[in-house]
């Protein structure tokens, strides 16, 4: 395996991020039937209000992780403390590179950057049928704190809210 590098994404990484998002099915989930150009503009604008991190092998983007303040991005039906906490808005690893612990490394890197930004913990929400994501969050120390229906999920699939305290 080539040496991996982790960094905050810039505009130059957006095409690579889009490719990974396409390959893991995130584009169809979040931007169904939207033109690539429009999605690209949207992601470029999102560099301003959230943290987008990438993992690269040589210069190729092979994974992304996105988070922002829970106060701004986390909508959930239960009362939780959002202040000073991050919310994970998504993680994806190119299928050619999955199951090589890269997702885990990217979660660890995300935690490091979120801690540097002053966040005291993080939330994530995961579809109840997403075994890989549930596993990666669990091995990163996240614990399940709630389970509820969410309109963004297909019928019968619950939203699992997970939490990890950093300090």
Ligand X SMILES: CC(C)(COP(=O)(O)OP(=O)(O)OC[C@H]1O[C@@H](n2cnc3c(N)ncnc32)[C@H](O)[C@@H]1OP(=O)(O)O)[C@@H](O)C(=O)NCCC(=O)NCCS
Q: Which residues bind ligand X (CB under 6 A)?
A: 24, 90-93, 98-104, 130-133, 135-136, 139
Of all residues in this chain, which one has the CB nearest to ligand X in the complex? 103
Complex with ligand X: residue 18 or 93, whichever CB lies closer: 93
Neighbouring residues of 83: CB distance < 8 A, sequence distance ≥ 6: 71
Q: What's the min distance (Å) between Cβ of 38 and ligand X?
A: 21
Burial label for 49, CB within 10 Å (0-12, 13-18, 19+), is exposed
- Go through the chain and tell me how many residues it has: 167
User: Shortest distance, CB of residue 92 to ligand X, whole angstroms?
Assistant: 4
Q: How far is the CB of 53 from ligand X (least distance, A)?
A: 13
Of 83 and 142, which has the nearer Cβ to ligand X?
142
> Which residue carries 């931007």 as its tokens?
31
Closest to ligand X by CB, 22 or 130: 130
Which residue, 83 or 98, has its beta carbon nearer to ligand X?
A: 98
- Which residues neighbour 142 within 8 Å (Cβ) at sequence distance 6 or greater? 122, 124, 162, 163, 164
């Amino acid at each position: 395996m080539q040496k991996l590098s982790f960094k905050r994404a810039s505009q130059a990484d957006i095409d690579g991020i889009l490719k990974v998002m396409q390959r893991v099915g995130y584009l169809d989930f979040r931007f169904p039937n939207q033109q690539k150009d429009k999605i690209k503009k949207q992601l470029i604008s999102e560099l301003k209000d959230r943290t987008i991190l990438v993992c690269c092998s040589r210069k190729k983007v092979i994974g992304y992780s996105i988070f922002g303040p829970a106060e701004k991005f986390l909508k959930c039906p239960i009362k939780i403390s959002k202040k000073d906490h991050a919310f994970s808005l998504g993680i994806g690893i190119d299928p050619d590179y999955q199951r090589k612990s890269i997702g885990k490394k990217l979660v660890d890197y995300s935690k490091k950057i979120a801690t540097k930004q002053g966040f005291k913990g993080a939330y994530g929400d995961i579809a109840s049928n997403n075994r890989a994501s549930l596993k990666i969050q669990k091995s990163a120390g996240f614990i399940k704190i709630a389970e509820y229906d969410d309109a963004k999920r297909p019928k019968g699939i619950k939203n699992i809210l997970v939490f990890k305290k950093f300090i």
